[in-house]
Structure 1
């Protein structure tokens, strides 16, 4: 997909979908997203123990909320914010895909990252969103 990644320190385009730029602790294996440079939140290891890691933007939807009124002008309402447990462990909160019917969402559902153009951000900007896998 052609466009400029909105947050290149957080994610990039991969051949099978978006890739999240994370960190993995060599001492205990914990994955942190976004990258943590100060040290591992689980065991306290730091410095060379923290290695860059690329993880798939895929996981299970824990819960979500539908936003019907929003003060910002950068996104049209309604939209959904999801809480997702990524396959590699971290739990994140993110905006779900534009135009997604909230009735199509349910806890436990597998969701995957998609790169989408947000008409409010500019045609060349690619934002990371999540949608039910296969949609």
Structure 2
């Protein structure tokens, strides 16, 4: 049975499909000036300074272009298994985000198209398997 609980439901939701490889939607925001950001917040627009009501939830696609990647071989937190790969992605909807690569053994390079998906992962504290948002090379 595949896990259904999301690791960070405040940042993303499940799209179509279920289980390993399920699509995800990022919970971003949009200002009335047109600026799109992630994650959703109401503190203030980085472009025009508006805050509160002009900032509304906006569902973001998880398709984008890889800008950079770095593999962590040794983490300061001994409970965090390494290696893992951190990626910086320019989403098609505008924001640039940093997150993890779904498959650390996959070869990726700046300029490559990537897509986000939900993958099962085990929480180190509880041992529970949950779905987390990760990027992988677009097919």
TM-score grouping bracket, smaller chain normalisation: 0.7 to 0.9
Counterpart position of 1:62: 67
Query: In the superposition, relative to structure 1, how do residues 75 and 110 fare at CA in structure 2: closer, same or farther (>3 Å)?
Result: farther
| Contact 2:119-2:131 at 8 Å conserved across structures | yes
1:35 matched to 2:76: no
Instruction: State how 1:1-135 maps to structure 2 within 5 Å.
Output: 2-15=3-16, 17-26=23-32, 28-73=33-78, 75-97=80-102, 99-102=103-106, 104-121=107-124, 122-134=127-139
- For 2:116 and 2:69, how far apart are their aligned partners in 1? 15
SS in 2 for 1:48: coil
Pairwise CA distance, 1:39: 1.8
Paired residues, number: 131
Pairwise CA distance, 1:47: 2.1
Can you list the C-alpha shifts for 1:73-132, whole angstroms capped at 9, x where unaligned? Answer: 5543211100111111111111111x4325x11001111111111134445311111111
- Using the size of structure 1 for normalisation, the TM-score is 0.87
Query: In the superposition, relative to structure 1, how do residues 20 and 74 fare at CA in structure 2: closer, same or farther (>3 Å)?
Result: farther
Which structure's residues are more often helix, by fraction? 1
- For 1:55 and 1:123, how far apart are their aligned partners in 2? 27
User: RMSD of the TM alignment (CA)?
Assistant: 1.7
Query: In the superposition, relative to structure 1, how do residues 106 and 63 fare at CA in structure 2: closer, same or farther (>3 Å)?
Result: same
Query: In the superposition, relative to structure 1, how do residues 55 and 125 fare at CA in structure 2: closer, same or farther (>3 Å)?
Result: same
Query: In the superposition, relative to structure 1, how do residues 79 and 47 fare at CA in structure 2: closer, same or farther (>3 Å)?
Result: same
SS in 2 for 1:77: coil
- Using the size of structure 2 for normalisation, the TM-score is 0.85
Pairwise CA distance, 1:2: 3.8
- For 1:3 and 1:86, how far apart are their aligned partners in 2? 25
